[in-house]
Every structure is written in C-alpha cells, then in structure tokens.
Amino acid sequence: MYGKVLLTFIFVLLLLLSYTIFIGNLDIRSYFFPHFKLSAVVPAACALDPSLRVFMYDLPRRFNVGMIDRRNTSETPVTVEDWPRWPENWGLKKQHSVEYWMMGSLIHGVEGREVVRVSDPELANAFFVPFFSSLSFNTHGHTMKDPATEIDRQLQVDLMELLKKSKYWQRSGGRDHVFPVTHPNAFRFLRDQLNDSIQVVVDFGRYPRHMSNLNKDVVSPYVHVVDSLTVDEPQDPYESRSTLLFFRGRTYRKDEGIVRVKLAKILSGYDDVHYERSVATEENIKLSSKGMRSSKFCLHPAGDTPSSCRLFDAIVSHCVPVIVSDQIELPFEDEIEYSQFSIFFSFKEALQPGYMVDQLRKFPKQKWTEMWKQLKNISQHYEFQYPPKREDAVSMLWRQVKHKIPGVSLSVHRSRRLKVPDWWQRK
C-alpha cells in the first residue's frame, strides 16, 4: 500500500514539474547549467503571442502629422485624441499616404492579432519609424529645385541622427526598423542609409537590388483615390458595363511609361475602347471612377515606375484589371493570386496592333463574371481606413512585415559572428 502511495506521489510531482517547465515558470537549465545564460529571453507571454510586436518611435510632429495639421505647432508626439483626419481635398497626395494609415493603426490599434504596439522596446520584434517621407517630398519642394527642398533634406538628416543614437538601431543595424517609402522620391537624400531596413514600397522600379528587394521589403498597394464601389448587384454585370476597355490618365511618362504613348495609337479607332489623356483633378478623378464602373476591363500600363494607383482604383471599382507591365511586383502575392481577377499582357503582346482588343473581345463572359465576383471578395484588402479594420490593407501590410522578421533575425545573428561580411555575395 505504501508503495502505491509513493508511486502516486512521484507521478504527481513529475507531472507538476513538467507543467511548470512547459508554461515557462521554471527554467530547468538554471539548475543543471547555472552559468549558462541566454543573451535575450522573450517572456513566456510574448513567446505565446502570435502578434507582431511593434515599438513606434515618439517623433516630434514635424516628422509626420505636423505636415497635415499645420495649425498645431506642438512638438509633442500625436495621440489618439488629436490624430488628424486625412484631408479630403488633397487629391493625388493620397495615393502615397500609406505612412499615415500605418502610423494611425498603431495609434488606434488594429482589430485581430496581426500587430500589437508595445511601450517597452525590449519586447518588440519590429520598430516602426513614423516619418512621412512621401508627404515630406510632396510638401517641401515638390519640384525638387525649390529652396523648400532643404526642409525635406534636413528632416531626413535629423531623423537618421536620432535613430543612430538609439541602441535598438545599433543592435540590429536598422534591420528590424520599418520605413514606409512609397513615393519614388521619398527619402531621396539618404535612401542608401535604409538599405538594410524593412522598406514598405509600391514597387522596385527606381532602386538597385542592394537598396530594395523582395527578400527584405514589403510591397504595398497604392492608396486608391476613387471612391469604392460598395453597391454592385446588377442582374447581368457583364452586359451592364458597356465599355470593353477603359483608360484615363497621363500618357507621357518616363521609363517603362513610354508604352502609354504607343498604346494611345494602337487603341485608337475602336468604338468600345475608351483611351483618353487626362490629368488628375478632382473632377477628372470622378470621371475616371464613372468610366471604370461602366467598363468590363480597365487598362493598367506602367507609369513612371512599373506600377501605378490605377490598378487599385480598378480593383475597388470591380473592373477587371488588364496589366501591361513587364516588371511589376504586386502586394500580398503570397496570399492573393492575381490571375484569378486580372489579365496580363507583356509589352510585346500589348503593342501588337489589334491583339489585345481581340483577346478581350473573345474573353468568355462566364470567366469574366467569375473574375468580377472575385474582385468583390478581395477588394476589402485594398482599403486604407481609420480606424483600421480586420483584413484591410494595413492589417495585410503588418502581416507582410511579420513574415520578414525571421529573415531579419537570421541576418542580425549572422552579422554578429561573420568576420568577412557578406562573403557569399563576393563569389
């Protein structure tokens, strides 16, 4: 009898010991290896939390919302109580406003478990830098020759001086720091100092691979400038859209954007194709929205860079995108398959007279309808809003950032022991 009691006691003791080790209250290594210490131990609560833990630097307002709310001259960091609304009359500036919505999501909090803002940087696995670099370019010397450009340059200099004094920047070399830089000229004076950081970009059109690439950076949608189509339940959606192919925008662009001029000639003379040169005024944005909503297909040729806001305007208008860009990278592509609701043509195919229009005219109605339904299902992922909502664009972006963290950890750990940095790239 005493033997059974003893065995029962030993069994219960082992069970309690196992449970204590499992939940993290007891570090068994400290008993057997008293001199062994980890350089950094994540608290048990954090280890079990699937959320991305982000520390946001408290920067003076001149680096961010001070460019929006100029009447508030305070240098104290913005809070949820005085977070300013994005101005409704700012037109095309909105397309590069990803930085505003990402910062707002940390100020307010995101639905679900994608990201949690932490006040203790020791608990963070990513550091968000709330500098509105795109808005700074658009606000301070947009012509690039204006004397006000010096303000943009000085903001970048001041920011990097501040960051390089931070032990958290020094600890990782900035690799775990997140910078939204969606305008192609954002952070242009000191962009090379962000080479190792996680950059949130809309494409890689103007940057060498060592500066920005898919391995470490996140591709974001542009913020759409047309209003979203929220009620779209026609009896016959295909027949309700009378225009076959629609394009309205600038036709003279740089780099790959020269294709737009060539397409203007190739697509002229078709009754069911609308290809119009236009600039983005408030009235013209409304006309573009109307045109997209009444068209089966919306043309998305490359602009100054491989992508443009037009693609995401088409998505929220439920107009099947026709993408003509040989070097485009698309947001959230590990989760979203664009071929389910978009059609792709190479430059070579698109510039063959009659080829693209012929292919679109022969496109099966049933398949188009399936794409239209898919657009309605996925358009929520391209909405930027405050407060943020579950599975909207900002939520998706934070999930993309989280996917980059294992690579950041690998890079940081290797950098601490390598005697010859990046030796494998020198072969």
- For residues 299 and 341, state if they share a domain: yes
Signed CA dihedral, 200, 381, 387, 50: sign only: negative
- For residues 108 and 205, state if they share a domain: yes
CA nearest 69: which of 88, 84, 49?
Answer: 84
- For residues 66 and 195, state if they share a domain: yes
Q: How many domains does the chain have?
A: 2
pLDDT in the model for residue 3: 63
Q: How confident is the model at residue 304 (pLDDT cuts 50, 70, 90)?
A: confident
Angle at 343 between CA 340 and CA 349, to 5 degrees: 150
Distance CA 106, CA 159 (A): 20
What does the pLDDT look like over 219-254, one tens digit per residue? 999 999 999 999 999 999 999 999 999 999 888 765
- For residues 321 and 273, state if they share a domain: yes
Q: Does 424 map to a domain?
A: no
pLDDT in the model for residue 298: 98
Angle at 396 between CA 160 and CA 246, to 5 degrees: 105
- For residues 71 and 155, state if they share a domain: yes
- For residues 123 and 162, state if they share a domain: yes
- For residues 254 and 196, state if they share a domain: no
- For residues 339 and 408, state if they share a domain: no
Structure tokens of 411? 């890079």
- For residues 140 and 256, state if they share a domain: no
410-415 average pLDDT score: 87
Q: Does 250 map to a domain?
A: yes
Distance CA 378, CA 321 (A): 13
Signed CA dihedral, 134, 136, 142, 145: sign only: negative
Helical spans, DSSP H, in 24-164: 29-32, 44-47, 98-108, 133-139, 149-164
Mean pLDDT score of the chain: 87
CA nearest 314: which of 281, 336, 345, 338?
Answer: 338
Q: How confident is the model at residue 29 (pLDDT cuts 50, 70, 90)?
A: very low
- For residues 214 and 101, state if they share a domain: yes
Q: Does 142 map to a domain?
A: yes
Q: Does 31 map to a domain?
A: no
Q: How confident is the model at residue 350 (pLDDT cuts 50, 70, 90)?
A: very high
Distance CA 144, CA 136 (A): 12
pLDDT in the model for residue 2: 58
- For residues 197 and 257, state if they share a domain: no
Highest mean pLDDT among 188-192, 260-264, 421-425: 188-192
Distance CA 244, CA 241 (A): 8
Reduce the DSSP state of residue 347 to 3 states and report it: helix
Q: Does 365 map to a domain?
A: yes
The gap from C-alpha 181 to its chain's centroid, in whole angstroms, comes to: 9
Owning domain of residue 353? 243-382
Q: Does 96 map to a domain?
A: yes
Higher pLDDT, 109 or 244: 244
Give residue for tokens 């030993």. 10
What is the model's pTM?
A: 0.85
Q: Does 7 map to a domain?
A: no
The CATH code of the domain that includes 310 is 3.40.50.2000
- For residues 64 and 171, state if they share a domain: yes
On whether the CB atoms of residues 320 and 296 are closer than 8 A, the answer is yes
Q: Does 134 map to a domain?
A: yes
Give residue for tokens 């005024």. 281
Give residue for tokens 């949820």. 80
Reduce the DSSP state of residue 392 to 3 states and report it: coil
Higher pLDDT, 279 or 289: 289
Helical spans, DSSP H, in 217-364: 237-240, 259-266, 282-293, 310-316, 347-350, 355-361
